[in-house]
Amino acid sequence: MARVRGLLDGYRPGPWFDEAFDSNGAVRAAYQRVADRFAEIDSDELRRIEQLVAAEFRRQGITFTVYSDDEGTERTWPMDLFPRIIEASEWRDLEAGLAQRIGALNRFLDDLYAGEQAAINDGIVPRWLVTSSGGFERNAFGIDVPFGARCMVAGIDIVRDADGAYAVLEDNLRNPSGISYVIENRTAMVKAFPRLFNDHTVRPVDQYGQLLRATLTDSAPPAAGDDPSIVILTPGIHNSAYFEHAFLARLMGVELVEGRDLIVDDQVVYARTVGGLSPVDVIYRRIDDAFLDPVAFRPDSTLGVSGLLAAARAGTVTICNAIGNGVADDKAFYPYVPDLIRYYMSEEPRLPNVATYVMWDSEQRAACLDRLGELVVKPVGESGGYGIVIGPQAGEGELEAARQSIEADPRGWIVQETVGLSSLPAQAGARLAPRHLDLRPFVLTGERTRVFPGGLTRVAMREGSLIVNSSQGGGSKDTWVLADDGLIAGTAADASPAAAAGAGLGAAPGVTA
């Protein structure tokens, strides 16, 4: 058994799957050099490195907002320094499963809004479920999207179960956030632990701006030509993801605009500039459907652009992601995705769902209510970990309230089997201890599908917690996808930190499907 010392001395994996240690407490091969490095430092040194990273994040304004925090909404982005490693063969399987899933979801959305609604007519998905979804949008009818890619940027939340098998927990198809933190986490890790990057060939993350711009360019109206005008539409500086909006604009070299910066004239969108009005071809919007156009949606919205949907319907501008995508990331829709994969792709799902029960089915509802204390209850319209009741950790009062909510509105809830979630070492005082985590990879779809290597690993920093969201006290980790050769010889001459960070590893930007 490989021995560990220092910060990992006495580390004991729980009954769930630990990604760095096996059930006997031995270090898994992929993590051996990481474990060795953390054995060389003590808690004071780790705390010093963490403080340096946090100070750099504050200096750069790398923050997120917690609206429910009475003490102040702005917080420095939390990052735990023990990295997550995904070996090349594992990642290839994940890539294929993610590309398959997004392929089916895009086909459903395009079938729903621009096709014959075949999946509904053939009974794959109930019509009433679709039309009752808060994400279903009648205004999306009649708006064509290039390549049928209504979800151009997707974030798919993935977990690992007690056996280490991957499963999809949730689809995010509207305005998924987190990619900026993936890139900034990597930059911080290269500075904090350059020797670790000398010991591994880690696939880069610095090409995301290039890939996103290529995807948005693919989606531009034909009249835009080879160099379309692209903008990012933000609700403004007070939005929780504003840092990311500004970050992506800088990364792609495009303008960051608010609704007041755009105007529609004769079904063409223009940006107001010091040189006059300039046509806009593609809008990467970070505004929810309801606020996007006060003419078509909420008349009281000051965030959107009047007449924007008319321009999209006329084909003079592309909105990314397309409106109406929320119907397919409604949690009540999630149980039907495996059947949609079989229907549209004629394949078995490569990535399964977590076992899920729908509360509008009276038999499933009765069975779940009988053992609610063993299950996880989720409201279909919430995000960020809000409203979730984890049965094994809930008190009787909380369970009774969940039971009453389900009975009052069965359409508004799903129930899932409790997944232990895999764990990794994370700082817990003067030692590293197991903490649960998930993974949000990002999938870009234009003329082709690209699965970006890695993703946002979120970690529950409280002992025993299964809620990984940063708004609920969670942190993050740098996610390393190893190239085919994995570990390298281990001398400083084998790979420079700059190369490991991405300057010299640009040949494998992602899978295409």
Check pLDDT > 60 for residue 131: yes
Q: Give the domain-ending residue among 367, 394, 417.
A: 417
Model confidence over 281-329: pLDDT tens digits?
999 999 999 999 999 999 999 999 999 999 999 999 999 999 999 999 9
Give the pLDDT of residue 500.
33
Give the pLDDT of residue 9.
85
> How far, in Å, CA of 154 to CA of 65, rounded?
21
Mean pLDDT of 53-78: 68
Query: Do 360 and 307 share a structural domain?
Result: no
Mean pLDDT of 168-177: 95
Task: Name the domain count of the chain.
Answer: 2
> What is the percent of the chain where pLDDT is above 90?
72
Query: Do 361 and 309 share a structural domain?
Result: no
Helix (H) or strand (E) holding 255: strand 255-257
E strand spans, 14-104: 63-65, 74-76, 79-86
Q: Give the domain-ending residue among 288, 316, 344.
A: 316
Give the pLDDT of residue 141.
96
The per-residue DSSP string of 214-247 comes to: HHHHHTS-GGG-SS--EEEE---TTSTTHHHHHH
| Residues 486 and 33: beta-carbon distance below 8 Å | no
Query: Do 309 and 226 share a structural domain?
Result: yes
Strands 442-445, 153-160: pairing is antiparallel
Helix (H) or strand (E) holding 404: helix 396-408
Structural domain of 397: 356-417
Model confidence over 342-389: pLDDT tens digits?
999 999 999 999 999 999 999 999 999 999 999 999 999 877 667 899
Answer whether residue 394 is part of any domain. Answer: yes
For the chain, give the mean pLDDT: 89
Answer whether residue 294 is part of any domain. Answer: yes
The per-residue DSSP string of 426-479 comes to: EEETTEEEEEEEEEE-EEEESSSEEE-SS-EEEEE-STT-----GGGTEEEEEE
Q: 133 Cβ partners below 8 Å, 6+ apart?
A: 326, 327, 330, 332, 333
Answer whether residue 381 is part of any domain. Answer: yes
Give the pLDDT of residue 1.
44
The residue with greater pLDDT, 395 or 73, is 395
Q: What is the CATH number of the domain that holds 268?
A: 3.40.50.11290
Q: What 3-state class would DSSP assign to 487?
A: strand
Give the pLDDT of residue 50.
87
Q: Give the domain-ending residue among 387, 417, 447.
A: 417
Split at pLDDT 50, 70, 90, the class of 156 is very high
Check pLDDT > 50 for residue 513: no
Answer whether residue 380 is part of any domain. Answer: yes
Answer whether residue 370 is part of any domain. Answer: yes
Q: Which residue is listed with tokens 């708004």?
A: 471
Check pLDDT > 80 for residue 407: yes
Answer whether residue 123 is part of any domain. Answer: no
Mean pLDDT of 473-490: 74
Model confidence over 79-90: pLDDT tens digits?
899 999 999 999
Q: Report the 10 Å Cβ neighbour count for 498.
A: 12
> What is the percent of the chain where pLDDT is above 70?
90
Q: What 3-state class would DSSP assign to 151?
A: coil
Q: What is the CATH number of the domain that holds 378?
A: 3.30.1490.270
Mean pLDDT of 68-89: 77
Check pLDDT > 50 for residue 72: no
Query: Do 297 and 238 share a structural domain?
Result: yes
Q: How far is CA 71 from the centre of its chain?
A: 27
| Residues 278 and 255: beta-carbon distance below 8 Å | no
Answer whether residue 390 is part of any domain. Answer: yes
Check pLDDT > 80 for residue 506: no
Mean pLDDT of 223-238: 94
Tell me which DSSP letter residue 204 carries: P
Check pLDDT > 50 for residue 510: no
Q: 63 Cβ partners below 8 Å, 6+ apart?
A: 57, 74, 75, 76, 77, 243
Exposed, middle or buried: residue 479 (CB in 10 Å: 0-12, 13-18, 19+)? buried
Check pLDDT > 80 for residue 5: no
Split at pLDDT 50, 70, 90, the class of 487 is low
Answer whether residue 89 is part of any domain. Answer: no
Q: Which residue is listed with tokens 């490095």?
A: 37
Mean pLDDT of 227-251: 94
Please compute Rg for the chain using Cα positions: 23
Strands 230-233, 255-257: pairing is parallel
Query: Do 228 and 282 share a structural domain?
Result: yes
Query: Do 304 and 370 share a structural domain?
Result: no
Query: Do 306 and 364 share a structural domain?
Result: no
Query: Do 236 and 312 share a structural domain?
Result: yes
Give the pLDDT of residue 369.
97
115-124, 286-295, 471-480: range with lowest mean pLDDT: 471-480
Give the pLDDT of residue 491.
28
